[in-house]
Amino acid sequence: MGVAAAAPAIHTVDLTKRFGSTVALAGLSMTVPRGEIFGFLGPNGAGKTTSVKLLLGLLKPTSGEAWLLGEPIGDLGTRRRIGYLPELFRYQGWLDAREVLALHCELAPLPRSTWKEEIAAALDTVGLTDRADDRVSTFSKGMQQRLGLAAALVGKPELVFLDEPTSALDPVGRHDVREIIRGLSDRGTAVFLNSHLLSEVEQVCDRVAVVDHGRVIASGTMDELLSGTAVKVRVSGLDDSARTRLAAFGPLDDEGEHLTFTKLDIERVPELVSTIVALGGRVYEVSPRHQTLEDRFLQLLHEDDK
Amino acid sequence: MAPVLVFARLTVQESSRRRLLLALVILTLLVVGFSAWGFNKITTVTRSDGTVLPHDQVSLITSQLLIVITFMYSGVLALSAAVVAGPLISSEVESGLLLSMLARPVRRSEVVIGKWLGLAILVTIYAAGSALLELTAVNWATGYEPPHPVELVLYVAAEGLALLSLGLVLSTRLSGITGGVIALVAWLMAWIAGVVGDIGTGLQNSALQNVGTISHLLLPTDGLWRGAVYAMEPDVILAALRAAGTAGRANPFSAVDPPPTAFLAWVVVWFGLMLTLSIWSFRTREI
């Protein structure tokens, strides 16, 4: 227990998953310490959900090893200490919310004497207390996702996997989920947050890993990842060939009138402006700023595609 | 509660809350009511000379009609078991319902056995309940009761359980519709193969007889059905069938002998194999 207690929440070494000839995950190696909020970012199909399913034992790795809370993945006892909100969330429509949570208390398994308190606390955390006795079939998608989050929270898990936890939520719901995640971290629970909502990750995560084509292409704390400068330019009069030539200034997010150079040294801004003018463009606005996670994300994917 | 029992309870609860049980109870009561009325009519039918049928003849007609009605019950049970078992696991995998539960300290074998157990309880209760109602109604209407009512219930229930077990195996890999349809077609084919085997017996053709035997081994539903038929046949019918020799056996609604002990032992092994196959198939499935 001593070793396990000191062990990181998640540790993987070269975790690989192939489906036939398709490589879904190519050698994932990472460590998530206890109590940390870890963002796992990537475009659709990058291998995020596959990673979560491998860690939870729903899929078997082709090669590599991984440990959760110090125990090898697939260990049944470890699952008592883990919560999971799947990306594809669905709960028994013929049960009411309280019954669904009681079912998860029973499977966890928690002592029956604690169920009432656990269920009430989980319902209160996700804001479903008023609907506790309503059938899940009457719930909206967003409410079902809240219920899924509540199910992931029962039993005070040491590690929680949240796979796109706000995909069905409105802005208020997203804000609530961020607060819940921060609350989990405060009480020492590690959170593995799978998401492609970059602003969400940026606001809550201590560290992130960016995954693409089944590989981690960057990882680190927010400060480490977002150390560069991005430059946004409002411009007109540039044709496609001129825009292509601007690739010399690094990865470019082209949104028509607005061009964002997602990583550009501030010292190169005068050169950029003179080049645009030389290419026949008219510059209306130049705004350098710190890189956002979106800038960095696009830059990384751009570099990975090269 | 152990996870196996939790999944069994969930399966029963789902059938109840989705009103499947209520629908079956209402339909069964309707059938029992109509059949009681029909059976009662037999006792009031008069011959050309104006006299009612003697008791022995009423019993004879009742016994044969009861076999046909039981065939309908066993059909309803087989259909229901196949249709409910087909999507039992696959639909919950496809919808994501099982994902959060499988991330709990639950073995996949516990999911499979629990779901089988829940549905097996329903099948057995339905078989016993409907038989009790129907036999009571028949007894009230005509005074007839089949010679082996307990065996009748056991064979009909076992037939439903066989379809349930086949549906469950298919459900671990195939979609609900596909699994349900395959189980139903297999049930019908096993019944037809049983008839082919009977014809083989009648014609004393070993190739045709083998078709029946092999089908009984692959899917024992028809063999179990014959056990149910035997349990309903009064001695006078059995004597007539035996007097007819091999020709008397060529009929899916008759049975000259009870199912052999070796066959019943095979049925037990077959259930074990189906459950083992279901567990292995689900355990090795990537979700």
Mean pLDDT of chain A: 90
Mean pLDDT of chain B: 91
| The pLDDT of residue A4 is above 60 | no
Which phi and psi angles does A215 have, rounded to 5°?
Answer: -125, 150
Q: Which residues contact B39 (CB under 8 A, 6 or more apart)?
A: B62, B65, B137, B138, B141, B142
pLDDT tens, position by position, A125-147: 999 999 999 999 999 999 999 99
* Distance from the A68 Cα atom to the nearest Cα atom in chain B, whole angstroms: 13
Reply yes or no: is the peptide bond before residue B3 cis, omega within 30 of 0.
no
Mean pLDDT of B43-54: 82
Regarding whether A51 and A176 lie in a shared domain, the answer is: yes
Indicate the DSSP class of residue A56.
H
Looking at chain B, which residue has its C-alpha nearest residue A99?
B10
CATH code assigned at A261: 3.30.70.100
Domain boundary (A164, A194, A223) is at: A223
Q: Which residues of A touch B22 (CB under 8 A)?
A: none
Regarding whether A83 and A207 lie in a shared domain, the answer is: yes
pLDDT tens, position by position, B15-32: 999 888 899 899 999 999
**Would you say residue A110 lies in a domain?**
yes
pLDDT of residue A5: 55
Q: Which amino acid is at A259?
A: L
Out of B95, B96, B105, the one facing A79 most closely (by C-beta) is B105
Mark yes or no for CB contact A53/B13 under 8 Å: no
pLDDT bucket at B1, cuts 50 / 70 / 90: confident
| The pLDDT of residue A1 is above 60 | no
Cα distance between residue B208 and residue B212, in whole Å: 7
Regarding whether A147 and A191 lie in a shared domain, the answer is: yes
Q: Is A31 exposed, middle or buried, given 0-12, 13-18 or 19+ CB atoms closer than 10 A?
A: middle
Max CA separation in chain A (angstroms): 75
Out of B10, B96, B103, the one facing A79 most closely (by C-beta) is B103
Which phi and psi angles does A35 have, rounded to 5°?
Answer: 75, 5
Out of B103, B107, B286, the one facing A84 most closely (by C-beta) is B103
* Distance from the B224 Cα atom to the nearest Cα atom in chain A, whole angstroms: 35
Q: Is the dihedral of CA B274, B275, B279, B282 positive or negative?
A: positive
**Would you say residue A240 lies in a domain?**
yes
Q: What is the pTM assigned to this prediction?
A: 0.87
Mean pLDDT of A227-252: 87
pLDDT tens, position by position, B148-189: 999 999 999 999 999 999 999 999 999 999 999 999 999 999
Q: Which of B93, B99, B108, B115 should one mutate to test binding to chain A, selecting the residue with the greatest count of A CBs within 10 A?
A: B99
b/e map A96-114, b = 16+ CB within 10 Å: bbbbbbbbbbbbbbbeeee
Cβ within 8 Å of B, A 90-119: 90-92, 94-95, 103-104, 106-109
Regarding whether A241 and A275 lie in a shared domain, the answer is: yes
3-state SS class at A60: coil
pLDDT bucket at B52, cuts 50 / 70 / 90: confident
Mark yes or no for CB contact A89/B96 under 8 Å: yes
- Structural domains in chain A (count): 2
* Distance from the B98 Cα atom to the nearest Cα atom in chain A, whole angstroms: 8
pLDDT tens, position by position, A167-180: 889 999 999 999 99
Q: Strands, DSSP E only, in A173-298?
A: 190-195, 207-212, 215-221, 229-236, 252-255, 258-261, 282-290
Looking at chain A, which residue has its C-alpha nearest residue B102?
A58
pLDDT tens, position by position, A67-97: 999 999 989 999 999 999 999 899 999 999 9
pLDDT of residue B264: 96
pLDDT bucket at A263, cuts 50 / 70 / 90: confident
pLDDT tens, position by position, B238-271: 888 888 777 667 778 888 889 999 999 999 999 9
CATH code assigned at A83: 3.40.50.300
Regarding whether A16 and A47 lie in a shared domain, the answer is: yes
| The pLDDT of residue A160 is above 90 | yes
* Distance from the B140 Cα atom to the nearest Cα atom in chain A, whole angstroms: 39
pLDDT tens, position by position, B251-260: 788 888 899 9
Q: What is the distance between the terminal CA atoms of chain A, rounded to a whole angstrom?
A: 46
Q: Which amino acid is at A193?
A: L
Residue A199, Cβ neighbours under 10 Å: how many? 12
Helix (H) or strand (E) holding A160: strand A159-163
Mean pLDDT of A228-238: 88
Domain boundary (A182, A201, A223) is at: A223
Domain hosting residue A111, numbered range: 2-223
The fraction of chain B above a pLDDT of 90, given in percent, is 68
